[in-house]
Structure 1
Amino acid sequence: MINYYGNLCTEMYEILHEKAPEDELAFYLSYATSKMKIFEPLCGSGRFLIPFYESGFNIKGLDLSKEMLSKLTEKLPEAQVTNVSLESYNPKEQFDYIFISSGSVSLFTDMNICKSILQKIYTLLKKGGKFVFAVDTVANKGQNEDEYKIIEKVKTRNGLDLVLKTKNIYNPTNKILYSPSIYELRDKEKIIKAESMDFQIRLYELGELEEILYKIGFSEIKVYSSFSKKIAKDNNAEMFLYECQV
């Protein structure tokens, strides 16, 4: 399954990204007010959802990875989360504010599916509601690599080594960065467990998503290149942050 966060991936993610970066968290919190119904699709292990909840906000989350949600509910048993794909999610309520953090919209590499997801988000918002999200840009394409190399190595709680090996291949035709990955749990040089991940992200140029979002029905769209809300002007930024209003 493309971009599915399994056991070893989730464990490494928790070690490296247990808490949200302060500037990114402040950016998403800046749109929240006390009476809002807030929804975070692709909430993962809760590094954004939990501080929103602890700040007193009414927030619900969703993620396809049961491994990631298991970590979230370990930390916050009362969390209101659903283990289902966003495509299949059909709640009876609408929300004032929806956000997808960390460039996760780029995980939807099939543009037909991505358009469907954006349309789904639009239907989940109340009139006047806002959708805020980030995508990775073509500035992240880098150099193609023929061989796997170790890019992360961390220690688990029981002292084992958890290693991530990957390589990157960028296709300029479909603007997808393919990063097949292998996670290995090691006791010194002995591999105890290995897990493969078919990781892919869609990289964007400025102007690509705006037309799609307007066609869906969003009435006002702003595109930033930083969490300080600097207006994006070119493709040199590593991310684009979209603020969209119904």
Structure 2
Amino acid sequence: MGITQNYYGSLCTEMYEILHKEAPQDELEFYLSYAEKEMKILEPLCGSGRFLIPFLERGYDIKGIDLSTEMLAKLNEKAPNAKVFQKDILEYDSAEKYDYIFISSGSVSLFTDMDLCKRILHKMKELLKKDGKFVFAVDTIADKCLNDTDYKTSISVKTKEGYTLVLKIKNYYYEKTRTQYSPSIYELYDGTKLLQQERMDFQTHLYKLGEIEPYLKGIGFSKINVYSSYDKKIAENNLSEMFLYECSF
């Protein structure tokens, strides 16, 4: 497989399922706090469903979008009746508008091309009903990693088949664009025998407080709250490792 920016391939998906099968409870409760039973809800970048499935289990009307066929295959294994679409977000067309749209886990930071990010945010505004809520998280400059000179083994896990799945990462940060580069190599071993290797060009944009707000206002969001924690504490500085945005118009 070639190197693809921020695409969750088969080995990446397998490790993600082992490490992040269920959503953290505080994060899940945060996104659930905006939901009501009569709402039409959309989760772009829904991945393997660790947020979408708990919404479904609670009886919410939710749909999901993700580009990764591997991640959606995992979601469909767990929730065959889930309404999910394998699409680029910008290519998703919907006649209906949504009451609530959320993008969890800092995934908006994956759009390191800021022009593309603005187009994504504008798309969310187009899909939202008047007085609907768009809620999302971004990583911040507090997440900046030290630069590495070479790849280092970051994580090693056992698969259900008994194989060893290893993640090797090399981090470096480009200050001018505030891009965190983390090229990654996933390797699957049977003992010492390499069975499969997958490379991923993982990149994130690390935000400063006040950076994305002008974009949001420019596309028409008139009410914006920025939180530094899942208990909705107002963000005041760049010390938090995430910012949570609550947007409406």
Query: Normalized against structure 1, the TM-score is what?
Result: 0.99
- The match for 1:160 among 156, 159, 163 is 163
SS in 2 for 1:208: coil
Count residues in correspondence.
246
Deviation sequence 1:24-56 (CA, Å, 0-9, x none) = 000000000010000000000000000000000
Task: State the one-letter code of the partner of 1:131.
Answer: F
Counterpart residue number, 1:233: 236
Counterpart residue number, 1:74: 77
Give 1:219 deviation, angstroms. 1.2
Pairing 1:126-165 to 2, within 5 Å after superposition: 126-165=129-168
Q: Percent sequence identity over matched residues? A: 63
Task: State the one-letter code of the partner of 1:70.
Answer: A
Deviation sequence 1:44-101 (CA, Å, 0-9, x none) = 0000000000000000000000000000000000000000000111111110000000
Contact in 1 for aligned 2:137/2:245 (Cα 8 Å): yes
Counterpart residue number, 1:207: 210
Distance 2:60 2:222 in 1: 26
Distance 2:75 2:145 in 1: 32
Counterpart residue number, 1:11: 14
Q: 1:123 and 2:126 equivalent?
A: yes
SS in 1 for 2:212: helix
Distance 1:189 1:27 in 2: 43
Q: 1:114 and 2:117 equivalent?
A: yes
Task: State the one-letter code of the partner of 1:221.
Answer: I
Distance 1:167 1:228 in 2: 33
SS in 2 for 1:51: helix
Distance 1:22 1:144 in 2: 32
Distance 2:105 2:145 in 1: 19
Task: State the one-letter code of the partner of 2:113.
Answer: D
RMSD: 0.5
Counterpart residue number, 1:244: 247
SS in 2 for 1:4: coil
Task: State the one-letter code of the partner of 2:34.
Answer: Y
Counterpart residue number, 1:96: 99
Counterpart residue number, 1:46: 49
Counterpart residue number, 2:179: 176
Runs (5+) with no aligned partner, structure 1? none
Task: State the one-letter code of the partner of 1:51.
Answer: P
SS in 2 for 1:158: coil
- The match for 2:64 among 56, 61, 68 is 61
Distance 1:221 1:99 in 2: 14
Distance 2:7 2:38 in 1: 33
Runs (5+) with no aligned partner, structure 2? none
Give 1:142 deviation, angstroms. 2.2
Q: 1:105 and 2:108 equivalent?
A: yes
Contact in 1 for aligned 2:178/2:207 (Cα 8 Å): yes
Distance 1:142 1:50 in 2: 32
Distance 2:226 2:244 in 1: 6
Contact in 1 for aligned 2:145/2:180 (Cα 8 Å): no
SS in 2 for 1:10: helix
